[in-house]
């Protein structure tokens, strides 16, 4: 980040007074330049003292981060090449065999496919719906503020609460969803929406949409606030219709928000655990397993720590590859323009 001079040619503390005076009196372009090129930093006592302060300030955070983030991740890497049931020393080195097991395990590859389906479907469903609702709520209307609050409510509830409530609503026969369907002459599946293997994933997707659509709407609404009014005025003077304005101006200018939201949604979909665990536990017949439910299952229920660790590494690599690809091809323009502004 080029903003504040990152490289500071070392200078003695004695000169600092001059440096400060220059900055204090300099105005406009001169002041700016002085600030950027300020080779003498009045704020630093000695280098040793500065180093001590940096250490004291960042130290606690770094220790916590190293202990609870870096170390466990390094451990996961280590576990992934051992056969380990969770007790005794790590002795049974198996190389990449756990990875082989994971990648050949149909439950895991199925989980990977489910995760990817959820990634694509979440974006494909929530993006158009989110934009439509954001445009709707962006119109001046009575109760607008209340509406925006309401839309956000599902996002505020925990996934567990959402899952438990929806589980009850989706109960076969006597759940309210089936009752409402019956009222219009439709029958729910006999085993229930969550009990039928070829419907369960779709049902999970519906619940996920309910829970996370509000986040998309709120973010898109915020993006809409950032679009300058002048553009709309100009377009209107030129005789553009509401629809044309949305297509030609709003959507393109909303681009960065949409792309960043899609990125967050993607990462979240890959890590999906809570909702699935509550709604289906990965079933029926593994039709809704995700990589996260797979690895928790392997680790806690079967004590296959090596396999679980390998699965978690695969999950991370998939997320990383997807994130980097996305950044390379989609996010890059946003980052570029951002860098230019700074």
- Interface with other proteins by CB under 8 A: which range of 104-112, 115-123, 196-204, 261-269? 261-269
Residue 244 structure tokens: 């044309």
Of 9 and 95, nearer to other proteins (C-beta) is: 9
Contact 111, 291 (CB under 8 A): yes
When asked if residue 99 is in the footprint of other proteins (CB under 8 A), the reply is no
When asked if residue 120 is in the footprint of other proteins (CB under 8 A), the reply is no
Of 93 and 242, nearer to other proteins (C-beta) is: 242
Q: Find, among 75, 221, 199, the residue nearest to 147 by Cα.
A: 221
When asked if residue 6 is in the footprint of other proteins (CB under 8 A), the reply is yes
Query: Which conformational region is residue 40 in: left (phi greater than 0), alpha (psi within -120 to 50 degrees), or beta?
Result: beta
DSSP annotation string for 278-307:
HHTTT-STTTT--HHHHHHIIIIIS--HHH
Q: Helix, strand, or coil here: 312?
A: helix
Measured in whole angstroms, the distance separating CA 94 from the mean position of its chain's CA atoms is: 34
List 29, 153, 184, 186, residue binding other proteins (CB under 8 A):
153
How far apart are alpha carbons 190 and 87 in whole angstroms? 44
181 burial (CB, 10 Å; 0-12 / 13-18 / 19+) is middle
Q: How far is the CB of 286 from other proteins (least distance, A)?
A: 18
- Interface with other proteins by CB under 8 A: which range of 96-104, 113-121, 194-202, 274-282? 274-282
Q: How far is the CB of 193 from other proteins (least distance, A)?
A: 14
When asked if residue 150 is in the footprint of other proteins (CB under 8 A), the reply is yes
How far apart are alpha carbons 212 and 168 in whole angstroms? 19
Of 7 and 104, nearer to other proteins (C-beta) is: 7
When asked if residue 109 is in the footprint of other proteins (CB under 8 A), the reply is no
With the CA atoms of 185, 191, 195 and 201 taken in that order, what torsion angle do they form, in degrees rounded to the nearest 10? Answer: -40
Of 119 and 198, nearer to other proteins (C-beta) is: 119
Q: Which of residues 277-336 bind other proteins (CB under 8 A)?
A: 277-278, 292, 295-296, 299-300, 305, 308-309, 312-313, 315-316, 319-320, 323
Q: How far is the CB of 264 from other proteins (least distance, A)?
A: 7
When asked if residue 212 is in the footprint of other proteins (CB under 8 A), the reply is no
When asked if residue 42 is in the footprint of other proteins (CB under 8 A), the reply is yes
When asked if residue 18 is in the footprint of other proteins (CB under 8 A), the reply is no
List 13, 72, 100, 252, residue binding other proteins (CB under 8 A):
72
Of 150 and 198, nearer to other proteins (C-beta) is: 150
Q: How far is the CB of 305 from other proteins (least distance, A)?
A: 6
Q: Find, among 285, 299, 325, the residue nearest to 98 by Cα.
A: 299
- Interface with other proteins by CB under 8 A: which range of 89-97, 101-109, 158-166, 195-203? 158-166
Q: How far is the CB of 199 from other proteins (least distance, A)?
A: 19
| Residue 143: HSE in the Cβ half-sphere, 13 Å Cα cutoff | 3
When asked if residue 40 is in the footprint of other proteins (CB under 8 A), the reply is no
Long-range contacts of 13-16 (CB under 8 A, 24+ apart): 13/44, 13/45, 13/46, 15/40, 16/40, 16/41, 16/42, 16/44
- Interface with other proteins by CB under 8 A: which range of 46-54, 90-98, 114-122, 193-201? 46-54
The count of other CB atoms within 10 Å of the CB of residue 4 is 9
Residues contacting other proteins: total by CB under 8 A: 116
Q: Find, among 317, 206, 204, 320, the residue nearest to 263 by Cα.
A: 320
Alpha helices in 188-247 (DSSP H): 197-225, 229-237, 242-245
């Amino acid at each position: 980040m080029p903003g504040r001079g990152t490289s500071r040619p070392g200078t003695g503390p004695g000169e600092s007074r001059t440096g400060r005076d220059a900055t204090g009196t300099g105005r406009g372009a001169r002041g700016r330049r002085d600030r950027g090129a300020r080779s003498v930093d009045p704020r630093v006592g000695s280098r040793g003292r500065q180093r001590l302060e940096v250490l004291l300030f960042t130290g606690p955070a770094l220790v916590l981060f190293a202990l609870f983030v870096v170390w466990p991740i390094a451990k996961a890497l280590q576990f992934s090449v051992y056969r380990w049931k969770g007790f005794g020393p790590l002795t049974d080195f198996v190389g990449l065999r756990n990875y082989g097991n994971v990648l050949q395990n149909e439950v895991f590859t199925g989980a990977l496919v489910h995760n990817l389906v959820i990634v694509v479907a979440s974006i494909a469903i929530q993006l158009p719906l989110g934009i439509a609702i954001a445009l709707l709520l962006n119109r001046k209307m009575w109760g607008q503020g209340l509406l925006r609050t309401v839309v956000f409510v599902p996002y505020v509830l925990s996934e567990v609460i959402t899952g438990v409530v929806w589980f009850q609503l989706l109960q076969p026969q006597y759940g309210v969803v089936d009752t409402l369907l019956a009222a219009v002459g439709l029958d729910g599946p006999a085993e229930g929406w969550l009990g039928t293997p070829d419907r369960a994933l779709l049902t999970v997707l519906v619940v996920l949409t309910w829970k996370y659509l509000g986040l998309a709407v709120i973010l898109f609404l915020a993006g809409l606030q950032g679009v300058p009014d002048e553009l709309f005025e100009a377009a209107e003077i030129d005789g553009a219709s509401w629809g044309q304005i949305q297509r030609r101006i709003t959507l393109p200018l909303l681009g960065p928000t949409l792309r960043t939201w899609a990125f967050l949604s993607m990462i979240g979909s890959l890590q999906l655990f809570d909702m699935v665990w509550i709604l289906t536990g990965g079933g029926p017949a593994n039709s809704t397993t995700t990589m996260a439910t797979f690895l928790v299952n392997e680790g806690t229920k079967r004590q296959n720590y090596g396999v679980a660790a390998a699965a978690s590494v695969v999950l991370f690599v998939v997320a990383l590859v997807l994130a980097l690809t996305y950044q390379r091809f989609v996010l890059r323009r946003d980052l570029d323009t951002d860098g230019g502004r700074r």
